[in-house]
């Protein structure tokens, strides 16, 4: 195992949407630091290579088929994890979907689709885990966004959901601090993930390179973030070294919020 000041040795960690992008990087980081990683994925086959990679490196990882928008599915999977693990130490609510469009370009179906995953999915997972965490404490980390804080053009529905993630974080932190449960969130700006590459390829065919450079330059620091940088912050916030931190959001945005306001 990789040595780290922020050990997660034998911590049971649930990561939603952990097979790709930021979630994948968090799973890799947590496993390398000793966590017992459980990944909840709508399409679990996407995580097969990740599971193999982590196990071959000496880590522990299980992939669970789960639609986080379904309370029944989430409750079933979380109950199975608790039964075999005698508890949950960490929940990372990373699963999320996006929509591009302003108010007039957002259909009711778009709003419902994003609500189901980005808001209800976070609610379902926190609710399913909180009773077990009340027994011995735990850490909840939610993936918010810079869109939780400032207006982003053509992100009406997405901003709505990420604003909700931020305020749910504050509410849970307030209500459960006396149970030893810490709840924080991370607000990334644009991060270079396969989703970004796919978005560019679909919407700007033949102009991928210049579009990528233009999007990178919208970050004041001059580039996109990396999934590994988000994972490093997640590791700290979920470690015992962050034991005095709760009810706080952490922008990791290359200066976007402050320097663009």
Domain ranges of the chain: 12-189+227-253, 193-224
* pLDDT interval class at 202 (50, 70, 90): confident
Q: Residue 251: which of 228, 235, 229 has the closest Cα?
A: 229
Phi, psi of 136 (to 5 degrees): -145, 10
* pLDDT interval class at 1 (50, 70, 90): very low
Partners of 34 in the beta sheet? none
Lowest mean pLDDT among 87-91, 178-182, 190-194, 200-204: 200-204
* pLDDT interval class at 10 (50, 70, 90): very high
pLDDT score recorded for residue 244: 98
pTM, two decimals, is 0.95
Report helix, strand or coil for 67: coil
- Cα 93 from Cα 39, distance rounded (Å): 11
Report helix, strand or coil for 117: helix
Which distant-in-sequence residues (6+ apart) come within 8 Å of 83 by Cβ?
Answer: none
* CB-CB contact of 188 with 230 (8 Å): yes
Q: For the segment 159-177, what is each residue's pLDDT rounded down to a tens digit?
A: 999 999 999 999 999 999 9
Residue 42: DSSP 8-state: S
Percent of the chain with pLDDT over 70: 98
Rg (CA), the chain: 18
pLDDT score recorded for residue 4: 54
Report helix, strand or coil for 75: helix
What CATH class does 12-189+227-253 carry?
alpha beta
Q: For the segment 95-141, what is each residue's pLDDT rounded down to a tens digit?
A: 999 999 999 999 999 999 999 999 999 999 999 999 999 999 999 99
pLDDT score recorded for residue 29: 98
- Cα 205 from Cα 134, distance rounded (Å): 50
Catalytic-labelled residue, pool 115, 123, 158, 250 = 158
Q: CA angle 59-65-66, nearest 5°?
A: 115
Residue 247 has pLDDT above 50, yes or no: yes
Q: Residue 40: which of 9, 71, 19 has the closest Cα?
A: 19
* CB-CB contact of 257 with 218 (8 Å): no
Is 158 among the residues known to form the active site? yes
């Amino acid at each position: 195992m990789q040595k780290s000041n922020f050990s997660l040795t034998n911590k049971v960690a649930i990561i939603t949407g952990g097979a790709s992008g930021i979630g994948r990087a968090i799973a890799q980081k947590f496993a390398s630091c000793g966590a017992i990683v459980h990944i909840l994925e709508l399409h679990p086959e996407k995580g097969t290579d990740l599971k193999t990679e982590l196990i071959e490196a000496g880590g522990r990882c299980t992939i669970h088929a789960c639609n986080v928008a379904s309370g029944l599915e989430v409750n079933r999977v979380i109950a199975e994890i608790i039964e075999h693990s005698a508890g949950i130490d960490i929940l990372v609510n990373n699963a999320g979907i996006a929509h591009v469009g302003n108010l007039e370009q957002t259909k009711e179906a778009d709003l419902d689709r994003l609500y189901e995953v980005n808001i209800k999915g976070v609610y379902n997972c926190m609710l399913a885990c909180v009773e077990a965490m009340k027994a011995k404490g735990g850490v909840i980390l939610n993936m918010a966004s810079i869109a939780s804080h400032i207006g982003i053009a053509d992100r009406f529905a997405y901003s709505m959901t990420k604003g909700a993630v931020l305020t749910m974080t504050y509410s849970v932190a307030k209500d459960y601090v006396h149970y030893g449960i810490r709840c924080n969130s991370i607000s990334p700006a644009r991060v270079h993930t396969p989703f970004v590459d796919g978005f560019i390829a679909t919407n700007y065919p033949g102009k991928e390179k210049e579009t990528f450079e233009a999007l990178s330059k919208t970050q004041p620091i001059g580039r996109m973030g990396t999934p590994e940088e988000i994972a490093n912050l997640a590791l700290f916030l979920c470690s015992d070294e962050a034991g005095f931190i709760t009810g706080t959001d952490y922008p990791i945005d290359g200066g976007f919020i402050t320097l663009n306001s």
